[in-house]
A and B are shown apart, each in its own frame.
Chain A
Amino acid sequence: MEPATFSMPHWPFVAASYVIFAALIVADLVTTATARRRVLRDLRGRLTRTARREAT
């Protein structure tokens, strides 16, 4: 005899799994893309401040 839970709708569980996976991949993509831009922007800012200080 198969368990009663086998008869429950499966698609919500399948859909939730795929959504979780997609959400985490998108979060990872956004994190990695913004982190590099942020580091380069901070670096440029620091270099500009140093150059200004040296000029005065």
Chain B
Amino acid sequence: MNALTLWFHRMGSPPTFYAFAERWRPWFLWSGLLLAVFALTWGLFFTPADYLQGESYRILYIHVPSAWMGQFVFAVMAVSGFVALVWRIKLAEIVSLASAPIGATFTAVALATGSLWGRPTWGTYWVWDARLTSTLILLFLYFGVIGLSRAIEDRRKAARAAALLAIVGLVNIPIIQYSVYWWNTLHQPSSVKLLRGDTTIDPSMLWPLLLMAVATKLYYAYSLLSRAQVMVLEQESGKDWVRRLAGAPAND
């Protein structure tokens, strides 16, 4: 068994995961927040205005990383949901469920800021464009996963039902990505294509955007670990290690 597989097996144990989260949570939080403050200050005050959009383009430093995160978190949710369904790993269920509110928040931010950008740029807050509509569907899918997980009393059954919805909903991610190519949309195609090397955004504007993308991922790691810790504590409340953590003597 290689080191990575061994690490994943270890993380499957709730006390080990809890200790890992306790150790790394503050690092993810502070590095994410500091990087976000740095990137947003750079984007707001130290990059030039866009030649066509003027100052309104600065919304992209919030909008684009949030939109990326909305899709990324959904993919994490679906993959961990798949692992939970196939291998019945409790922690994968927790990761899947804990991701949903975070992903929903990022998607809501992407929709709200996109709307605020649309008003001065397109002249409207909203159009039923394929990219916007598929992103709205993503938000509804998140609501579905959250609602389903809370509607079923048995936690493990709830997690499995939510995982199934996340896996089915994954089909929406390529639709969001390619909507701007498949349909004639008002939303412009991607300006950042790092893998293909034909990014059309100026480097002076690109760097704060990329740093902000890293900052949102670090914040997601913090929020995921925090929420997962709460779920682990609730699920394992009868176990000795949780009793010890709460300050009570163990049963043995």
A-side contacts of B233, CB under 8 Å: 36, 39-40, 43
B229: which of A36, A46, A47 is its contact (CB, 8 Å)? A36
Q: Report whether B109 and A24 are in contact in the complex, using a CB–CB cutoff of 8 Å.
A: yes
Contact B117–A39 (Cβ < 8 Å)? no
- Contact for B54 among A4, A10, A40, A46, CB less than 8 A: A10
Answer whether residue B80 sits at the interface, using C-beta atoms and an 8 A cutoff: no
Picked from A2, A24, A32, the residue with its CB within 8 Å of the CB of B227 is A32
Are A16 and B120 in contact (CB-based, < 8 A)?
Answer: no
Residues of B within 8 A of A4 (CB): 123
CA distance A8 to B54 in the complex (A): 10
Which B residues have a C-beta under 8 Å from some C-beta of A?
Answer: 40, 44, 52-56, 58-59, 62-63, 66, 101-102, 105, 108-109, 112-113, 116-117, 119-123, 219, 223, 226-227, 229-230, 233-234, 237, 242-243, 245-248
The contact of B121 among A6, A21, A35, A47, by CB within 8 Å, is: A6
Smallest CB-CB separation from B50: which chain A residue? A10
Q: Which among B63, B117, B120, B245 has the highest number of chain A CB atoms within 10 Å?
A: B120
B105 touches A24 (CB 8 A): yes
A6–B58 alpha-carbon span in the complex (Å)? 14
Give the interface residue-count category, chain A. Answer: 20 to 34
Chain B residue at minimal CB-CB distance from A14:
B58
Q: Does A51 contact B (CB under 8 A)?
A: yes
Interface of B, helix, strand, loop or mixed by DSSP: helix
A1 at the interface (CB under 8 A from B): no
- Secondary structure at the A interface, as helix, strand, loop or mixed, is helix
Is A20 interfacial (CB 8 A cutoff)?
A: yes
**Residue among B56, B219, B223, B227 making CB contact with A14, cutoff 8 Å:** B56
User: Is the CB–CB distance between B219 and A17 below 8 Å?
Assistant: no
Given contacts A13-B56, A13-B120, A44-B248, contact A20 B226 (CB under 8 A): no
Q: Which residues of the other chain, B, contact A43 by a CB distance below 8 angstroms? A: 233, 237, 242-243, 246
Distance, CA A15 to CA B17, complexed state (A): 39
Whether B40 contacts A18 by the Cβ 8 Å rule is yes
Q: How far is the CA of A16 from the CA of B44 in the complex (A)?
A: 13
